[in-house]
Amino acid sequence: MAEFCSVEKDGPLTIVTIERPEVMNSLHRAANFELAEVFDDFVADESQWVAIITGAGDRAFSAGNDLKHQASGGEMGGPESGFAGLTSRYDNPKPVIAAVNGVSMGGGFEIALACDLIIAAENAIFALPEPRVGLAALAGGIHRLPRVIGMKQAMGMLLTGRRVSAAEGKELGFVNDVVPEGKALSAAREWAALILECAPLSIRGSKEAAMQGMNASSLEDAIKGKYDQIEAMFKSADVVEGPLAFSEKRAPNWKGE
């Protein structure tokens, strides 16, 4: 049984909730390893196609590292897959959505940035305040944020640790959707439903090619690149089912294989 998170499976959708509201869903070593196991299972489970991660309660998605636990001498650190088992995970072609309710700061913001979509409630607050406590956003924040919003805007957050609202996050480009307070998870479910209307291997191929293509030296190299998930898509039954369903004017029956 999980101690620091809960997992719900709704058909092909996995919903992971960080369950430490008493410390604003901040994470210590044990919680990080527990979440890593959850996402290991999600990646390996062929029946699960999309995941949502959120935080218990309305006050916080995650406040990041549990600094009080650390200051009291508690054991810190985490798995190879990074903070919450996500920030250093590079083997997952399946979409992950962050449903951000309240505070998303430090490692909490880095979890959200490691997801493919960020759906934020109006009360969401984002920041990378590590320099204010003598640290740095080393769980990917320093590198992901400039890639998402550009270097100058990212530096405006990285060098000040300032707090950014959900509305400003959408203007800057790292938030996909802003919804009323208390509605982040339900809105994330709606986004997940849209993804689940599509062929799962097409989704995985699109994610893999987009992410790996960012590392190519040119647009031409990115387009000509070889991507495992794209190859799997072309070998799948779904590549036949999609056009067939369209021609028969019916909803496709995706197999994901």
Is the pTM higher than 0.85? yes
Q: What is the pLDDT of residue 55?
A: 98
- On whether both 113 and 218 belong to a single domain, the answer is no
List Cα–Cα distances, 29 to 13, 149, 164, in angstroms.
26, 30, 27
Tokens at residue 97, please?
A: 């959505």
Mean pLDDT of 100-111: 97
Q: What is the pLDDT of residue 156?
A: 98
55-59, 74-78, 134-138, 192-196, range with the lowest pLDDT: 74-78
Task: Look at residues 177, 196, 215 and tell me which one is the last residue of a structural domain.
Answer: 196
- On whether both 47 and 151 belong to a single domain, the answer is yes
> Using 50, 70 and 90 to split pLDDT, how confident is the model at 67?
confident
Asked whether the predicted pLDDT for residue 151 surpasses 70, the reply is yes
Task: Look at residues 174, 196, 218 and tell me which one is the last residue of a structural domain.
Answer: 196
Task: Look at residues 161, 178, 196 and tell me which one is the last residue of a structural domain.
Answer: 196
User: Could you give the number of structural domains in the chain?
Assistant: 2
Catalytic residue among 37, 75, 110, 122: 110
- On whether both 150 and 241 belong to a single domain, the answer is no
Which position has the token pair 């527990």? 34
Question: E-strand spans in the chain?
Answer: 5-10, 13-18, 50-55, 60-62, 96-100, 103-105, 117-121, 125-127, 164-165, 177-179
Catalytic residue among 130, 168, 208, 231: 130
pLDDT tens track for 161-202: 999 999 999 999 999 999 999 999 999 999 999 999 999 999
Average pLDDT, whole number, for the chain? 95
- On whether both 158 and 216 belong to a single domain, the answer is no
Domain span at 60: 5-196
- On whether both 192 and 84 belong to a single domain, the answer is yes
pLDDT tens track for 70-99: 766 666 678 999 999 999 999 899 999 999
List Cα–Cα distances, 112 to 74, 119, 124, 204, in angstroms.
25, 9, 12, 19
115/117 Cα distance (integer angstroms): 6
- On whether both 159 and 223 belong to a single domain, the answer is no
110 tagged catalytic: yes
Tokens at residue 206, please?
A: 């699109």
pLDDT tens track for 9-44: 999 999 999 999 999 999 999 999 999 999 999 999
